[in-house]
Structure 1
């Protein structure tokens, strides 16, 4: 059973078209991604998803590439193929020195991926939050503070983790197919 209907740019109207236009302007993409077009039938819902995405992922204090890696890590934990591929693609676009294998192995203690220690700590925190947020104690937050993250940045990190969890649930529940550029990444 197909669980979604895609609303192309040409079919979009009103609030949906506004979201598509803003996404295209900010991302430089040629067309909206499948996750977005799967929400295109409902202007209120697509606006809500887009606002959260823009606020958590595209704005803020944390480096964009770190946020993309956080979403990738959380999505891998949750087995969310669409989000894993999408955010691996974005991270690799932002940092062409990385490879897909680097992202997959980034939390391995033997990883040689050049990454600031604070970023590795943020990714480990994201991994723990995705596995069981209730098991994350004060000491994990204190480690982030000692690594140089401000309270505001920690809240932003939590927002990115929450964004990933939301999209993991949505894209996996809808069984969305991969956009061609994400599929190509996994096949390389």
Structure 2
């Protein structure tokens, strides 16, 4: 059963088109992704989801490649096929030192050693949050601070994890099909 309908650009209301336009302008995309088209029936929902993603990913102090890696890791831990594929592609487009096989290897072995050093502790932290946010210890925060992250940046890391979780629930519940440019990693 198809659990969603898509609203393409031509059929979208003017208000929804403005959300689509903002997405494409901000991301440099030439097409509206399936996740956003699946919200296109409601300008309010499309705007809310897009504003959450835009505010979390495209502002703040953390570099975008690190944020994309966090979303990828969280999505993979949740088994979110759509988000893990999308953000694997984003990680690879932003960090040319990594290859698709590196991400597959990481997921298979759970070894962060092939990731850039600054990613390693963040990946461990994000994995702990996904497993049990209530189980975090002060030491988990101290480890990130020793790596050079401020308290504000740690809050930003948590906000990225939270945003990813929200999108994971949405895309997985609907079983969104992958956009043509995404390659399934799970």
Partner SS for 1:179: coil
Number of equivalent positions: 184
Say if 2:184 is the partner of 1:186. yes
Distance 2:130 2:48 in 1: 22
Structure 2 match to 1:155: 155
**1:33 corresponds to which residue?**
33
Distance 2:89 2:26 in 1: 16
* Partner Cα distance (1:171, 1:111) in 2: 26
Whether the 8 Å CA contact 2:67–2:157 is kept in 1: the answer is yes
For residues 11-33 of structure 1, give each alpha carbon's deviation from its aligned partner in whole angstroms, at most 9, with x where no partner exists.
Answer: 11132111100111111211110
**Distance of 1:38 and 1:114 partners within structure 2:** 33
Preserved contact between residue 4 and residue 38 of structure 1 (Cα < 8 Å): yes
Counterpart mapping for 1:29-178 below 5 A:
29-106=29-106, 108=109, 112-116=113-117, 118-178=118-178
* 4+ residue runs over 4 A deviation: 107-112
Q: Which deviates more, 166-175 or 130-139?
A: 130-139
CA distance in 1, matches of 2:9, 2:170: 21
Distance, in Å, in 2 between the alignment partners of 1:111 and 1:126 is 12
Scaled by the length of structure 2, the TM-score of the pair is 0.93
User: Once the 2 structures are TM-superposed, how far is the Cα of residue 135 of structure 1 from its aligned partner?
Assistant: 1.2
Unaligned regions of 5+ residues in structure 1, if any?
none
Quote the offset at 1:79 in angstroms.
Answer: 0.4
TM-score with structure 1 setting the length: 0.92
Q: Deviation at 1:110?
A: 5.3
Structure 2 gap ranges (5+): none
